[in-house]
Amino acid sequence: MDSTLINEIKALVISSLNLEDTTVEDIDENAPLFGEGLGLDSIDALELGLALKKTYGITLTAESAEAREVFRSVKTLADYVAAHRN
């Protein structure tokens, strides 16, 4: 996996969710985005989904089972972006 894309996704998470005290290095690419990991919630998922659409032209519906898998971690997001970006 391209570490540049992983770092881009981490930076996108930080900027789109205003995680001011978090750096790219603070985010483990394999840690869960929701619950135990970064502790994101459904509103964060919507914000992140909008940022992904704006940045990479990717549309995911929050309710789909695919979206749950894609939003599992930074790595799963990066894998999805790499495979689907316009």
Banded pLDDT at 2 (limits 50, 70, 90): confident
d(CA 49, CA 6): 16
Give the domain CATH number at 70. 1.10.1200.10
Note down the domain range covering 77. 3-84
Q: pTM to 2 decimals?
A: 0.88
Condensed to tens digits (0 to 9), the pLDDT of residues 4-31 reads 999 999 999 999 999 989 999 999 999 9
Condensed to tens digits (0 to 9), the pLDDT of residues 24-79 reads 999 999 999 988 888 898 899 889 989 999 999 988 766 677 888 899 999 999 99
State the sign of the Cα–Cα–Cα–Cα dihedral 26, 56, 2, 62: positive
Q: Where are the alpha helices (DSSP H) in 1-70?
A: 3-16, 42-56, 65-70
Task: Specify the number of domains making up the chain.
Answer: 1
